[in-house]
Copies of this chain bind each other. A is one copy, B any other.
Amino acid sequence: MRIGIIGAGEVGLTYARPWAAAGHEVVLCDLKPSTAATAFAEQSGQDIRASVAELAPDCDVVVSCVFGTVSLVVAEQALAHMARDTLYVDMTTADPALIRTAADSAAQRGIGYVDVAILGAIALTHAKTNLLGAGTGIDRALTLFSGIDAPLKPVEEGAAGDAAALKILRSVFTKGLEALTIECFMAAEKQGVSEKLHDALSDIDQASLRDFLGALIRTHVLHAPRRLKEVEEAERQLLAADMPVAVLPGVKALFKRTADQIAVQPIDSASPTLPQAFEWLFKVNDVSR
């Protein structure tokens, strides 16, 4: 298989090396190749192409490893030069809307397209980093990545763009949790109660995360006003203890927003279901589906 890789940076080379080792013909494309990229190209006896137009025409697979901001431009250039029934792998984790546009373009040309989102740190786990993929080319991509033992997981019934959307939303959650953990456990550590706080949080572990988060959403639309008071007290005490506070003001703002919305148009249920809670949240926040 002839694999063209656009963007010979850390991500591109991370997959170029094992694909070449597995017997594929790997060709790089980069305007300013790094020393590592040049070394790889010399070793594999291939020139580094300076333009997508020089790379794309004779590749069975084109893998885009450029920055998300140029993902659509690069995709359109490559797709214009690729043959029918080839495969385009987009590893840019760009804006899902851009990815969907590129996937439509690929479909019109009869080219397979897969959106592959990187769910970890390539710098740390290299080709073993978890990947999430979606799109018409997912089956071919699974073969390609499983050939080098790279853990690509398909989004069930997902279309191109869904992998990128999920990566970004996962990032909102995990980075938010990380910041919250730092803020909360620095204060616990200062008071010498980190271990005891883990005990006091152990009920979260007992439920499934899905059920726990669902319960938070369902009760938030009822109890935000009372909980706002607890957030205010918590913030007051972190500040009184001279702890740096970054996350809690935003948490307070969100509870305040919901509390104000409840005051004006409370939800019409004493025990809302998850769909009812979302329906109310979308209505009061003027968010269209």
Write the residues of chain A forming the contact surface with B, with a CB cutoff of 8 angstroms: 68, 95-97, 119, 121, 123, 132, 155-156, 158, 162, 165-191, 193, 196-202, 204-205, 208-210, 213, 216-217, 220, 223, 226-227, 230-231, 233-234, 237-238, 240, 242-244, 246-251, 253-255, 257-258, 278, 281-282, 285, 287-289
Contact = CB atoms under 8 A, between A and B. Distances in A.
27 contacts: A68-B233, A156-B196, A156-B199, A166-B196, A167-B200, A168-B233, A171-B230, A171-B231, A172-B180, A172-B184, A173-B184, A174-B216, A175-B227, A175-B230, A175-B255, A177-B180, A177-B216, A178-B220, A189-B289, A202-B209, A205-B209, A242-B287, A243-B287, A247-B251, A247-B253, A247-B254, A248-B250
A95 B238 CA distance: 10
A198 B233 CA distance: 31
Give how many copies assemble into the complex.
Answer: 2
Contact of A217 (B119, B181, B202): B181
Contacts of A170: 197, 200-201
Given A172-B234, A205-B209, A196 B250 contact: no
Nearest to A257: B246
A-B interface, 9 closest residue pairs, ranked by CB to CB distance from nearest? A250-B250, A246-B254, A176-B180, A179-B254, A179-B251, A247-B250, A178-B216, A246-B253, A172-B184
Contacts of A237: 95-96, 168
A257 B244 contact: yes
Contacts of A119: 200
B182 A217 contact: yes
B281 A186 contact: yes
Given A171-B234, A180-B180, A231-B171, A186 B278 contact: yes
Contacts of A246: 250-251, 253-254, 257
A172 B181 contact: no
Nearest to A237: B168
A176 B248 contact: yes
A213 B191 CA distance: 18
B168 A234 contact: yes
B285 A240 contact: no
Contact of A254 (B182, B213, B216): B182
Contacts of A179: 250-251, 254-255
A234 B197 contact: no
B247 A247 contact: yes
A23 B250 CA distance: 48
